[in-house]
């Protein structure tokens, strides 16, 4: 029997790309399956590169893309993503109604929704089909979120109101205690916590969760979803990663080729790469501290430097207009032979280069998976969202990264960040770039496991097949 899944990704390009890559893998495994990806654009906030990516998506017999027409948004501050998504329910309902009314339409088997699109469960219920979740972060953060929600709803504790006597928390998805100081702002903030509690409650309503992780990377965290978690109400987790978009962005070919050509001229494992994602930027004081650390370290470097945004929810970081005014006197001259400062970075293409010996990262999960895929050890500098958890997991739990600092005060979502001293950054870079370190060896081993996971018989391919099998069995007669 032919079956159809409807994928509903979040508008963010990182979420959309991951969803598309996952859909491609699924339809390539089983000829019975077809997928329609419903794309909900941000009409006023879509970058040119995002639009180009959407336009490049080509429909096949088993994989189709449909962009929802959204009404014009009122001027002023943009709506939170989950609210914006919920407002598009009528358009999504109409699109799915047309899909199922087609004479040649396969049997609708379920909705597969992004972690920020859980309100679409209501529509799935209207159509009488189960909902599945695409979780673009890791099993550890998913487990922590669910555990915090469980503790809150059982009146055991509220993480936003812990007194100073509580310094550590026990999470079933971790093998060691988690420091309260490392809790993300998303959990300790009265503004954000209710959203994540609601999200977690919706996660529990799912028939299954596709997690962008690898069984060999997070074996303990995944046990949380196989009888070792909060009771028996947890959905099955399918570790199907790493789900990566490894094609280069051709938005600026000339600039990209210049960067990659420079890397080709550098010795193997000699360059430390600093890049902090689309939202990561620094003020002038922090920029100078990083420069001093790079100067003293003596290592070659490729630094994707962006100016901090006053509010990343409204405006992305930009470029500094005059680097000489920001950087220490003489820095550019002293490091001209061994360093390169850029704005935008073709991150995947850079990490793939043999010259890259270490990656200073903001700990976005996609970035960490890319680094592991290419066998590049990381130094962790979490800036916002779940990145503190990702950093703790990679450093303390798995030993796949070094830390710049154990505790970071501030968060970009809170619009305040403590300045990290040059001494801390330099120390981390020196550890990161050690040629024979245990971290480097473990990362190389994990890279191998990530590659094997996606081959026939590998753990992620097996999980994908199991997911399709379960979807087929859950189809109503």
In this predicted structure, what is the pLDDT of residue 14? 79
Shared domain check, 309 and 238:
no
Shared domain check, 279 and 204:
no
Q: What three-state secondary structure class fits 362?
A: coil
* Of the candidate ranges 312-326, 365-379, 386-400, the one whose mean pLDDT is the lowest: 312-326
pLDDT tens by residue, 166-176: 999 999 999 99
Report the 10 Å Cβ neighbour count for 450. Answer: 24
CA distance linking residue 420 with residue 286, whole number of Å: 7
Shared domain check, 273 and 224:
no
Average pLDDT on 215-228 reads 88
The CA-CA-CA angle for residues 176, 181, 186, to 5°, reads: 100
Shared domain check, 262 and 242:
no
Enumerate the β-bridge partners of residue 7: 37, 112
Whether residue 298 is predicted with pLDDT greater than 60 in this model: the reply is yes
Whether residue 45 is predicted with pLDDT greater than 60 in this model: the reply is no
The CA-CA-CA angle for residues 424, 437, 355, to 5°, reads: 85
In this predicted structure, what is the pLDDT of residue 60? 86
Tell me the residue range of the domain where 443 lies. 253-450
Q: What is the DSSP letter of 403?
A: E
Angle between the N-to-C axes of helices 459-473 and 13-29, in degrees from 0 to 180, rounded to the nearest 10:
80
Average pLDDT on 130-156 reads 97
Helix segments in 30-136, DSSP class H = 48-56, 81-87, 89-101, 121-126
Number of separate domains in the chain? 2
Q: In this predicted model, which residue has the larger pLDDT, 13 or 330?
A: 330
In this predicted structure, what is the pLDDT of residue 123? 97
Shared domain check, 275 and 369:
yes
Shared domain check, 260 and 167:
no
Are the beta carbons of 341 and 300 closer than 8 angstroms?
no
Average pLDDT on 74-78 reads 67
* Of the candidate ranges 41-50, 266-275, 317-326, 431-440, the one whose mean pLDDT is the lowest: 41-50
Percent of the chain at pLDDT > 90 equals 77
Q: What three-state secondary structure class fits 267?
A: coil
Whether residue 232 is predicted with pLDDT greater than 60 in this model: the reply is no
CA distance linking residue 289 with residue 269, whole number of Å: 24
CA distance linking residue 200 with residue 203, whole number of Å: 5
Shared domain check, 274 and 227:
no
Average pLDDT on 291-299 reads 97
Give residue for tokens 């487990």: 143
Shared domain check, 307 and 358:
yes
Helix segments in 224-330, DSSP class H = 253-264, 284-297, 323-326
Shared domain check, 279 and 236:
no
Q: Which residues contact 254 (CB under 8 A, 6 or more apart)?
A: none
Are the beta carbons of 277 and 362 closer than 8 angstroms?
yes
Give residue for tokens 């270490």: 358
Shared domain check, 224 and 312:
no
In this predicted structure, what is the pLDDT of residue 344? 85
Report the 10 Å Cβ neighbour count for 65. Answer: 19
Average pLDDT on 359-383 reads 97
Strand stretches in 29-181, DSSP E: 33-39, 63-67, 107-114, 131-135, 168-169, 178-179
pLDDT tens by residue, 261-287: 999 999 999 999 999 998 899 999 999
Give residue for tokens 């948004």: 73
Cα separation of the two ends of the chain: 11
Whether residue 77 is predicted with pLDDT greater than 80 in this model: the reply is no
pLDDT band at 231; cut points 50, 70, 90: very low
- Tell me what the pLDDT averaged over the chain comes to: 92
Percent of the chain at pLDDT > 70 equals 95
Burial class of 182 by CB neighbour count within 10 A (0 to 12, 13 to 18, 19+):
middle
Shared domain check, 56 and 14:
yes
Dihedral in degrees, nearest 10, Cα atoms 132, 136, 140, 144:
-70
Shared domain check, 178 and 295:
no
Which CATH number is 59's domain given?
A: 3.40.50.2000
Whether residue 207 is predicted with pLDDT greater than 50 in this model: the reply is yes
**Whole-prediction pTM:** 0.94
Whether residue 134 is predicted with pLDDT greater than 50 in this model: the reply is yes
Are the beta carbons of 132 and 206 closer than 8 angstroms?
yes
Are the beta carbons of 86 and 119 closer than 8 angstroms?
yes
Dihedral in degrees, nearest 10, Cα atoms 464, 469, 470, 474:
140
- CA nearest to 138, candidates 346, 438, 376, 391: 391
């Amino acid at each position: 029997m032919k079956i159809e899944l409807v994928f509903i990704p979040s508008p963010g390009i990182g979420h959309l790309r991951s969803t598309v890559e996952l859909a491609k893998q699924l339809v390539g495994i089983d000829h019975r399956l077809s997928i329609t990806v419903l794309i909900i654009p941000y009409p006023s906030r879509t970058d040119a590169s995002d639009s180009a990516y959407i336009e490049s998506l080509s429909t096949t017999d088993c994989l189709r893309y449909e962009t929802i027409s959204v009404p014009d948004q009122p001027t002023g501050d943009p709506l939170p993503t989950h609210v914006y998504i919920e407002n598009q329910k009528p358009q999504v309902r109409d699109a799915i109604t047309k899909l199922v009314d087609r004479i040649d339409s396969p049997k609708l088997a379920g909705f597969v929704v992004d972690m920020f699109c859980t309100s679409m469960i209501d529509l799935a219920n209207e159509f009488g089909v189960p909902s599945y979740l695409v979780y673009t972060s890791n099993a550890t953060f998913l487990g922590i979120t669910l555990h915090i929600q469980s503790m809150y709803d059982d009146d055991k504790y509220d993480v936003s109101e812990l007194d100073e006597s509580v310094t550590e928390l026990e999470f079933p998805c971790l093998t060691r205690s988690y420091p309260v100081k490392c809790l993300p702002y998303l959990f300790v903030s009265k503004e954000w916590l209710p959203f994540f509690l609601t999200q977690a409650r919706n996660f529990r309503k799912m028939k299954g969760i596709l997690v962008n992780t690898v069984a060999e990377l997070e074996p303990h965290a995944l046990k949380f979803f196989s009888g070792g978690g909060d009771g028996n109400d947890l959905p099955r987790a399918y570790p199907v990663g790493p789900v990566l978009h490894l094609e280069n962005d051709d938005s600026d070919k000339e600039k990209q080729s210049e960067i990659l050509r420079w890397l080709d001229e550098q010795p193997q494992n000699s360059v430390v790469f600093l890049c902090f994602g689309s939202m990561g930027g620094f003020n002038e004081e922090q920029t100078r501290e990083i420069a001093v650390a790079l100067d003293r370290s003596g290592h070659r470097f490729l630094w994707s430097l962006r100016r901090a945004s006053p509010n990343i929810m409204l405006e992305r970081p930009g470029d500094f207009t005059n680097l000489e005014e920001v950087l220490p006197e003489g820095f550019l001259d002293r490091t001209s032979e061994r360093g390169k400062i850029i704005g935008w970075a073709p991150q995947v293409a850079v990490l793939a280069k043999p010259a890259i010996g270490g990656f200073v990262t903001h700990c976005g999960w996609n970035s960490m998976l890319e680094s592991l895929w290419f066998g590049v050890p990381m130094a962790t500098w979490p800036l916002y969202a779940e990145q503190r958890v990702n950093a703790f997991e990679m450093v303390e739990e798995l030993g796949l990264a070094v830390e710049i600092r154990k505790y970071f005060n501030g968060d970009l979502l809170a619009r305040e960040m403590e300045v990290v001293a040059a001494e801390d950054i330099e120390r981390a870079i020196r550890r990161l770039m050690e040629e024979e370190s245990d971290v480097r060896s473990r990362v190389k081993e994990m890279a191998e496991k990530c590659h094997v996971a996606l081959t026939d018989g590998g753990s992620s391919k097996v999980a994908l097949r199991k997911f399709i099998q379960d979807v087929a069995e859950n189809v109503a007669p």
